Amino acid sequence: MRLSSSLALATALALPAAAETFDCVINPAVTVRVGGPVPGLLDEVYVDQGDIVTQGQKLARLRSEVEATTLDVVALQAESRAEIEAQESRLKLAQQRLERVQEMVSRNIAPLQDLEAAEAETDVIARELAIAEMRQKVAQLERERAGQLLAQRLITSPVEGVVVVRHLFGGEYLDQDSPVVTIARVDPLHVEAFLPVALYGSVEPGMVLPVTPDAPITGTRDAQVEVVDRVFDAASGTFGVRLRLDNADLSIPAGHRCRIEIPAATQ
């Protein structure tokens, strides 16, 4: 009898301890409510609920006829050199006249007053040329500004993900506090779980743990621990952990329950 008890105890000690599983939830890595930098009337919304979008993809466009026309006007002003070329021609003639007057004054053919007048005229035209060049630079800056204002009428996606909700349609008014769409980034996914405080210190960032989504999703995936809370929940005696779950093929939907496995070696 004692031999049998000893053998049973030895066998139990030789067997590896079973891993323990805990409930978890699979969430989007990021959920973004996408609006516009400026309010306005929506001309068109290019995406709908369920669409997969890439970062930088066009989502919607506001009415922009006025901004487009303004850009055309300032672009013409920025590209035109007519005023500068006219002032350059005037300055060239004034400099030639100044040279002739200087020669005539040096030969005592013309009075000194003529030289002073020619110098003053040349100086005035040079200043007018500088003003014309400055006006063109201002026009070029205005062109950039008008281009930026026009670009603000186009709403693009800040992240890659799936459209969860389409809030507005073409013809509706978009104010600064309203989103056009809500986008969830589903690659990677975040796995959120609460573990008993007894496991604190045994689960660390960088560890890879198996995660099994609930049915109908099949299979077990590896997820990497990214965050371990440093503040316990005293009421439940737990602490939170967050894992990164790659989902490049988008086969795992967000908002699904799962089970996370903590190997016995880490307990």
Q: Are residues 220 and 133 in the same domain?
A: no
Q: What pLDDT score does 1 carry? A: 40
- Tell me the CA distances in angstroms from 146 to 75, 78, 82, 142, 257, one per residue in order: 9, 12, 22, 6, 49
pLDDT at residue number 108: 86
* Same-domain check for residues 128 and 243: no
Residue at 6 is within a domain:
no
Dist CA 86 CA 265 (whole Å): 85
The alpha carbon dihedral of 236, 237, 243, 247 has a sign of negative
Residue with tokens 């850009």: 71
Q: At what angle do helices 112-151 and 65-79 cross, to 10 degrees?
A: 150
Are 53 and 169 found together in one domain?
yes
For residues 170 and 218, membership in a common domain is answered with yes
* Tokens standing for residue 49: 């609920």
Residue 196 resides in a domain: yes
> Would 170 be classed as within a structural domain?
yes
Comparing 47 with 1, the larger pLDDT belongs to 47
Identify the domain boundary among 120, 151, 182: 151
Domain co-membership, 225 together with 115: no
Using 50, 70 and 90 to split pLDDT, how confident is the model at 10?
Answer: very low
Residues 166 and 134 in one domain: no
For residue 208, the domain's CATH number is 2.40.30.170
Q: Let me know if residue 59 belongs to a domain.
A: yes
Question: What is the rounded CA–CA span in Å between residue 226 and residue 189?
Answer: 12
pLDDT by residue (tens digit) across 14-32?
A: 444 567 899 999 999 999 9
Q: How many CB atoms lie within 10 A of CB 181?
A: 25
Overall number of domains in the chain: 2
- Per the domain annotation, does 131 fall within a domain? yes
Same domain membership, residue 89 and residue 146? yes
Contact between residue 246 and residue 178 where contact means Cβ atoms under 8 Å apart: no
**Same domain as 40, residue 73:** no
Are 121 and 43 contained in the same domain? no
Specify if 49 maps to a domain: yes
Distance (Å, whole) CA 225 – CA 230: 14
Q: Mention every residue, 6+ apart, whose C-beta is less than 8 A from residue 211.
A: 24, 26, 191, 220, 221, 222, 223, 243, 245, 258, 259, 260, 261
Same domain, 58 and 69: no
Predicted TM-score (pTM) of this structure: 0.72
Q: Are residues 21 and 91 in the same domain?
A: no
Residue 7 belongs to a domain: no
236, part of any domain: yes
* Domain that includes residue 238, residue range: 16-63+162-266
pLDDT for the residue numbered 114: 87
pLDDT in tens, 41-90: 999 999 999 999 999 999 999 999 999 999 999 999 999 999 999 999 99
Q: Check whether residue 27 and residue 116 sit in a common domain.
A: no
| Of the residues 129, 151, 173, the one at which a domain ends | 151
Confidence of residue 161 (pLDDT cuts 50, 70, 90): very high
